[in-house]
Amino acid sequence: MIRGLSWRNFDFILLGAVILASSFGAAMIRSAVAGNEVLLPLVTRQIFFALLGVTVIFVVASIDYRYWLALYRPIYIAIMVLLVTLTGFGQTAFGAQRWFTVGILSLQPTEFAKIVAIIVLARYFDASQYRPRDLRWALGSILWASGIILMILLQPNLSNVLVLMVIMAVMLWVNGVQVKHVLITAAVGVVVVVALIVVSVIGIRVPFLQQYQQERIVNFVVPDPNDTYGNRYNVQQALIAIGAGGIFGEGYGYGSQTQLRFLKVRHTDFIFAASSEEFGAIGGGLIILTIAVIVWRCIRAAQKSRDIAGSMIGIGVATLIFFQASVNIGMNLNVLPVSGLPLPFISYGGSGLTALMLGIGLVESVAMRHKEMEF
């Protein structure tokens, strides 16, 4: 299968951007956990996963993505088994079951489930490419995604449910879903979201939503100005960290908010704030730019793909990275409510990083097998 493979089409810009982002991430995690002996091993672990991830990229890139598509049934079943088991045996964190502990490593199947969902949806859209774009066609894709979505919803992990729904929606969009269906769904969506906000602000519990999730929404929509040390504390400290960074930052290892631990969860959710404090607008801007380059290269691979499946992989991974990054940075900048979505490639998290690298590997696989005007 390696035969006839041209590494000339391997997207080194994408790889470079990914390596730049993960290296920067590892360095920032080192600065963020400095002085905390419990968290110190995380740096080595993140470097290990980054190296593992780069290997994964090359391995996956060298394999034709169509093999994965052909194996979609066993993969789908495997991830579903993992997710079901997780609901039973997983470790609970903040009221949600999200990872397995295997030895010292904790595995988060959810991160891989997102890649699996992309593969499964890519296969569906590839298989159904000649069918009319009616409701049945659209519902088919929803059906395929709903299994994974339901399991993640049961954890419950609303942010990742949202990620999957967005990926599905973008794929539907690109594949030519009817505009009237989009409008109807959008209208329903707006009503649901507004209703959710109103209900949360009034204080009525909604099924499938944890209390803390509703509180986060309320805190974002109507912040309590006196609540400096309560729920808004983390976001406030993130804003202070970012603002204090200025143009050039306070210097690596010298951010007062980060080093004196005023900024919480600074190696995961708020690593963007930590980076912006120590490297300023230059650093923060470069992170956004790097993510933008990665997203652009993924969409570019999708455009050049020889088939729908390849395009969908490119679009899916691009959407995954774009959405997670925007939500995370938006939360850091207090333009979006608090969610647990990490910043792709930069936040600490072995499973997340490996899963993303896997996704990039798939995109590289697509990029390498495109048919351009070269004979």
Please tell me whether residue 127 binds another protein under the rule CB under 8 A.
no
Of residues 31 and 276, the one with the C-beta less far from another protein: 276
CB of 341 to another protein, least distance (A): 14
CA distance readout (Å), 226 to 223, 232, 261, 293: 9, 10, 22, 40
Which one of 73, 136, 205, 371 is in contact with another protein (CB under 8 A)?
371
Of residues 42 and 308, the one with the C-beta less far from another protein: 308
CB of 305 to another protein, least distance (A): 5
Which 326-365 residues touch another protein, going by CB under 8 A? 326, 329-330, 333, 335
Half-sphere exposure of 40 (CA within 13 A, CB side): 5
Of residues 46 and 276, the one with the C-beta less far from another protein: 276
Of residues 153 and 244, the one with the C-beta less far from another protein: 244
Of residues 66 and 181, the one with the C-beta less far from another protein: 66
CB of 72 to another protein, least distance (A): 14
Give the number of other CB atoms < 10 A from CB of residue 177: 19
Between CA 164 and CA 167, with CA 165 as vertex, the angle to 5 degrees is 65
Which 264-293 residues touch another protein, going by CB under 8 A? 276, 280-281, 284-285, 288, 291-292
Which one of 75, 107, 148, 241 is in contact with another protein (CB under 8 A)?
241
User: Which DSSP helix (H) or strand (E) runs through 323?
Assistant: helix 308-332
**b (16+ CB within 10 A) / e for 218-239:** bbbeeeeeeeeeebbebbbbbb
Distance CA 284, CA 320 (A): 20
Distance CA 229, CA 233 (A): 5
Q: Which stretch binds another protein (CB under 8 A): 42-50, 52-60, 95-103, 295-303?
A: 295-303
- CA-based nearest residue to 317, from 363, 372, 265: 363
Q: Which stretch binds another protein (CB under 8 A): 52-60, 143-151, 200-208, 298-306?
A: 298-306
Distance CA 174, CA 218 (A): 34
Which 163-192 residues touch another protein, going by CB under 8 A? 170, 173-176
Number of residues that bind another protein (CB under 8 A): 55
Of residues 216 and 300, the one with the C-beta less far from another protein: 300
CB 122 within 8 A of CB 239: no
Environment class of residue 98 by beta-carbon count within 10 Å: exposed (0-12), middle (13-18) or buried (19+)?
buried
CB of 322 to another protein, least distance (A): 6
Distance CA 151, CA 87 (A): 8
Please tell me whether residue 95 binds another protein under the rule CB under 8 A.
no
Distance CA 160, CA 148 (A): 10
Pairing of strands 96-102, 105-107: antiparallel
Which one of 66, 78, 146, 209 is in contact with another protein (CB under 8 A)?
66
Of residues 43 and 315, the one with the C-beta less far from another protein: 315
Distance CA 333, CA 7 (A): 40
CB of 321 to another protein, least distance (A): 10
Which one of 185, 252, 256, 265 is in contact with another protein (CB under 8 A)?
256
Please tell me whether residue 242 binds another protein under the rule CB under 8 A.
yes
Which one of 21, 29, 217, 295 is in contact with another protein (CB under 8 A)?
295
Of residues 154 and 215, the one with the C-beta less far from another protein: 215
> Nearest 5°: phi and psi at 91?
-80, 140
Half-sphere exposure of 367 (CA within 13 A, CB side): 28
> x/- binding map, residues 303-322, to another protein, per CB under 8 A?
xxxxxx-xx---x------x
DSSP, residue by residue, 328-366: HHHHHTTSS----PPPTTTSS-HHHHHHHHHHHHHHHHH
Please tell me whether residue 369 binds another protein under the rule CB under 8 A.
yes
- DSSP-derived secondary structure letter, 7: G
Question: In the complex, which residues of this chain contact another protein (CB under 8 A)?
Answer: 64, 66-67, 70, 170, 173-176, 237, 239-247, 256-257, 260-262, 276, 280-281, 284-285, 288, 291-292, 295-296, 299, 302-308, 310-311, 315, 322, 326, 329-330, 333, 335, 369-372
